[in-house]
Amino acid sequence: MVVTGESGRAVWSGMTVSQKVRIGTRASQLALWQSNWVAEQLRSHGVSTEIIHITTQGDVTAGPLGQIGGQGLFTKEIQRALLDGRVDLAVHSLKDLPTEPIDGLTLGAVPPRAGSGDALITTTASSIEELPHGARVGTGSARRKAQLLHVRPDLVMAEIRGNLDTRLRKLEEGLYDALVLAEAGLTRLGWEHRIAQVLPKALMLPAVGQGALGLEIRTDDHATRRVVALLDDSPTHAAVLAERAMLAALRGGCLAPVGAWGRCNASGGLLLDAVVLSHDGKQRLTASGESPLQEAVQLGRHVAEQLQVQGAAELIAGSRGAPPK
């Protein structure tokens, strides 16, 4: 509960918030929407906030993500600002946050998840099945490419970079016949009317953490930890913990052709489905599991073990151009 103390400062559950919570974020349209949403939620609890823009390597590099140099392209600079005290809280699209732990940092909260699906954007069809033979589909994701090619090997997968508005403009200019983008980003920016189809999970499992926000803090910053706990959603947090544990156990990384979908069932248990594919979509491995919410990490590792037995490591290595073992 938040009340106002005699000094006029916000007091929550016995703690006094005597300074602003400085929120570090990328300056893209979607990143600013997300950080402003977090700021509004905190302010509704009486917490003063300040948003600080940080440019990341991914924002200034034009090449395909898979060729630039691996993970953390959209997070490392923000994490540095967090570690050196320039900001108190980092707001990430959780699908961009690498699973490798960073000394001194922790995931303080995960708010309720938006739609986790992938959306088809096109004016020439109402579904992936109706796209013309040989249609040119814009996506920078190995996961999306592989899953699309698994069901439509005739499609031409074309690399695309840029913020959502840039990608949509390229579609309008006729450079692509269709795009596949995250449902959550389109919805958050009010562009859900552009969606021709939210792809069924049976066809396209999302990226690990897709649709969820990760609120990262310094491990020893107990005051900020208590504040961001106000925004945590336990079912979402458990679901993404399972997904991230699975990806970490596979050593897949954010750019591998790996998909996962964690969610709660009607009885409050946690379900996890996962997929690993070859880069061309010809090979597809699946696994699933169920556990109580408090065993999310164990569930993720169990599902990863199922995939490893089937040969997931070889497919992931092949997607990076490494020779099979």
Give the residue numbers annotated as catalytic, written as ranges: 96
Q: Which DSSP helix (H) or strand (E) runs through 270?
A: strand 270-277
174: burial class by Cβ within 10 Å (0-12, 13-18, 19+)?
exposed
Residue-by-residue DSSP string for 61-127: --S-HHHHTSS-TTTHHHHHHHHTTS-SEEEEEGGGS-SS--TTEEEEE-PPP----EEEE-SS-SS
Q: Which DSSP helix (H) or strand (E) runs through 33?
A: helix 29-44
Which pair of tokens denotes residue 280?
């061309």
Place of tokens 């556990």: 291
Query: In whole angstroms, what is the distance from residue 65 CA to residue 62 CA?
Result: 8
